[in-house]
Every structure is written in structure tokens, then in C-alpha cells.
Amino acid sequence: MTYLMALPVLFAVAAVTVFLVGDRVRPDSWRQTDDEAAGHMVLDLVNMFFAAIVAFVVVILWQQYDNAHAHTVSEAKGLVTVYEASNDMPEPDRTSIQSLVRQYTSQVVTDEWTSMEKNRELNQGTQDTFDELRSAVGAVPTTDPSVKDSVTGAQAGLDAVAEARYDRGLDARYRLPTFLYVALWFGTAMLLLGTVFSGVLVTKRSVIMTGLFGVVVGAVIMAVYQLDQPFAGGNQVSKEAYELALSRFQHITSSGVTAVANPR
């Protein structure tokens, strides 16, 4: 790691050495009368470096956001699977399990979402409800083949929920690697210093343009930090998957009541 940290310094020394030695051996016709060309070259490299870092960071964070959203969808689908499977179980297991599924889903979009937003972690109370739900499904008697199939389907749904929940916990804790933030801020500092090294004359127009330049750079940095918080930033992962699941629960319950009230 120490060797890697020293690489930029070594390359700086190498670049200066090549420049000074090359100046002694190159033809006089290659020499310019000022250093304006060197300034443009450095500014172009800084701009390219900053743009490349920002693009790389945004791609990583947007992919992480997509992953976090996909995990919420997978979890909500698993909850619907459990709810549907339990609809074919005898009482009182059906009512108990469906009640726990609704309770867990509601806790995810309230208590747990707040915990992920403020503390970047899952909520223990919601985990306790999920554990209680798994125990309730596991305690259902399976002597009846049709009930056994329902329990098997519910357990498959619970496995999907457990996996997605684990992934969501990792998503909530995810942070962009420190070295990328260091590179981003280094590029930002070089961009701002470029306004000094460019030798631009200080006028009212140049001050306004530099201010606008700073606004753009600041907006880019702000966007990066917002994207680095999939459950807390300005671009939060939506709760829509769980809200749709709650709506689906109500529809399944209504359908079940209708079927019981109107048997063939």
C-alpha cells in the first residue's frame, strides 16, 4: 500500500526528469518562447482526469442503486409468495402468518426505512418479527399433503425474503471506497487551481465565469454524495415494491373471503 501511495510522486519526479533532460537534447526549433502550451496541456489532462473519475464513480454508484432497488423488489415478491401460500393453510395458522407478513412489511417501510436512513443499518425489531414469522410457518402441521405444499411454498418465499433482506442490509451500509473519494477531491482541487495557473486576467466577466464553474463542480460533488446513500440521499430507493405488496395482501385476503362466502 505504501508503494502504491508513492507512485504518483515517483511519476511526478519521472515527468520532471524527462522534461529537463529532454530540453537539453531536443533541437532549438522545437522550443517555444513561452510556457502557454504546457499550461494548456496540463489543464486538458486535469479536465480529462476529473471527468473520468466522475464518470467512473457515477457508474459504480448508479449500479449500486439499481442493485438496492432490485433487492427490495425481490423481497416484496417473496413476501407476496408467503402470503399467497399461507392463504391455503387452515386456521388459526393462516390468520397468524398473514398477520405477521403484513406486520413485517409495514415495519420495513416505517421503522426499518428510518433506521437505514439515519443509521445505515437494519432494524432489530423488524428482524424479530421476521424470525417470528419463520417460526410460525415452521410450526404449521404438515400431515395433510395440501397443507404441506402450502408450507413448502411459504418456506421458499421466506428463503427469498431472507436473502433479499441480507442484501438490503449490505446495500444500506455500502460506501464508495475511500481511494475514489481521494481521487475525486484531488481532481477537484486541481481543477480549481487551474484557474490560477491558467493566467486568466481577473475581470468582472472572468470572476462570474469562475463562479459558475465552481457551481458546476460543486453540483457534481453533491450528486456523488447523494448517490452514495441509496436509502438516505436525495435519490432514495423507492418503497413502492413493499407498498404494492401490501395492496396485494389486501386483494388476496378479499379473494379468500369471497371464496369462503361463495363455495361451489
pLDDT over 60 (residue 263) = no
Tell me the pLDDT tens digit for each residue of 172-199: 988 888 888 888 888 888 888 777 766 6
Mean pLDDT value across the chain = 83
CB hemisphere CA count around 129 (13 angstroms): 23
Whole-angstrom Cα distance, residue 180 to residue 186? Answer: 10
What SS3 string covers 50-70? HHHHHHHHHHHHHHHHHHHHH
CA 25 to chain centre: 53
> pTM for the full model?
0.76
Whole-angstrom Cα distance, residue 136 to residue 259? Answer: 24
Mean pLDDT score, 78-100:
93
Element (H, E) at 4: helix 2-25
Provide the angle, in degrees to the nearest 10, between the axes of the packed helices 36-86 and 204-227.
30
**Which residues make Cβ contacts (< 8 Å) with residue 26, sequence separation at least 6?**
none
Per the CB < 8 A criterion, the answer to whether 136 and 93 are in contact is yes
77: closest CA among 17, 153, 188?
Answer: 153
Tell me the pLDDT tens digit for each residue of 115-172: 998 898 999 999 999 999 999 999 998 888 888 999 999 999 999 999 999 999 999 9
Whole-angstrom Cα distance, residue 107 to residue 127? Answer: 9
What are the cell numbers at 96?
Answer: 397468524
- The predicted pLDDT at position 162 comes to 96
CB hemisphere CA count around 71 (13 angstroms): 20
Indicate the residue type of 78.
Answer: G
Whole-angstrom Cα distance, residue 85 to residue 151? Answer: 7
